[in-house]
A and B are shown apart, each in its own frame.
Chain A
Amino acid sequence: MRITRDKLNKLAHVVADTLAETDEADFLEDRNTIRQEARKALETLLLAELKIDQAAKQKIASQRRIIQEGSQEWDILYRKYYNEEVKKLGI
Chain B
Amino acid sequence: MLPRPDALRHRHGLGDWRRHLVTLRATLDRVLFHIGPPEPAPIVLGQRRIYVLPTPAGLAFAAALLVMLIASINYNLSLGHALVFLLGGVSVASIVHAFRNLLHLSFTPGRAEPVFSGERAGFHVIVANHRNARRPSLRLGAHGAVVPFEIDAEDRADVNIPVATTARGWMTLGRVRIETTYPLGLIRAWSVLVPDQRCLVYPTPEPSPPPLPEGPSSTPGRRAGSAGDDDFSGLRRHQPADSPRQVAWKTLARGGPMLTKQFTGMDGGKIHLDWNDLPADLGTEARLSRMTAWIVAAEQRGLAFALTLPTVSIAPGQGSEHSANCLRHLALFGTEGPADA
Chain A bound to chain B:
no
Residues of chain A having any CB pair with chain B under 8 Å: none
Residues of chain B having any CB pair with chain A under 8 Å: none
